[in-house]
Amino acid sequence: MNNGLAKRIIPCLDVKDGQTVKGTNFVDFRQAGDPVLLGKAYSKAGADELVFLDITASHEGRKTFTEMVSRVAAEINIPFTVGGGINALDDVKRLLGAGADKVSVNSAALRNPSLIDEISGHFGSQVCVCAIDAHQEDGGWYCYLNGGRIRTERQLLEWALEAQDRGAGEILFTSMNHDGVKTGFANEALAMLSDKLNIPVIASGGAGKKEHFLDAFRIGKADAALAASVFHFGEIPIPELKEYLQGEGINVRI
């Protein structure tokens, strides 16, 4: 067993019009079921935390999503993070009020970095997860806005360091190159982030088999690994994954 905090396994549920969906490289979505029932099943199966992302956060979507957050909070007993369309403190207040433990900010924080200062200042940095969608191109990792649609000139490490300085409690890094293709996480980029940051780094994008989680922890030095389709479609049962990781000497909660 290695020392330090247990590594976390986090299923991620992308919610669109009240249903869980999953895409590949941020497109081609297919349905994966009721987010509340899935969340409850993951909680029972030993997931350490959950992430719910409202991927169509229009005004009407927000109402549906907030109601779903309340239903999730009533059914599960593990921490959960919500994201999507969080642009102001009022959004954070609404979602924490509905029962969420943390909020994840992405595009809004890139456009207005002081949002991170505001959230951590009002609610504590443990509530603020800074999600970063980045794509490796032209010799660097560039951050993207709007669910991977708009490239910015911000670089992954530089933005992650600023988010940390502004009070983010965790970085959730999704490699757009690896998302949904199941060939493993972006371990070199993860290791770079883990070496330079003092806050936890969550790996996202690329899980296809149990060994990929092991690599994210060993090579990528991630604090947590997040995945969607391998969990939603039953390809990797969480209890089996945790037993495997424990057998490989990774400290996980069983």
Return contacts of 244-249, CB within 8 angstroms, 24+ apart: 244/210, 244/214, 245/7, 245/210, 245/213, 245/214, 245/217, 248/214, 249/1, 249/2
Q: Which of 163, 88, 182, 242 is nearest to 173 (CA)?
A: 163
Q: Which residue has the tokens 């200042």?
A: 121
Q: Exposed, middle or buried, 254 (CB in 10 Å: 0-12/13-18/19+)?
A: exposed
Q: What's the half-sphere exposure (Cβ side, CA atoms, 13 Å) at 107?
A: 17
Which of 91, 133, 179, 215 is the catalytic position? 133
User: 46 φ, ψ to 5°?
Assistant: 105, 15
The alpha helices in 31-149, defined as continuous H runs, are 35-45, 59-75, 89-97, 107-111, 114-123
28 belongs to the catalytic site:
no
What does the alpha-carbon distance between residue 218 and residue 194 come to, in Å, rounded to a whole number? 11
**DSSP reduced 3-state for 226:** strand
179 belongs to the catalytic site:
no
CA angle 181-173-152, nearest 5°? 95
Give the sign of the dihedral formed by CA 212, CA 217, CA 218, CA 221: positive
Q: Which residues are catalytic?
A: 14, 133
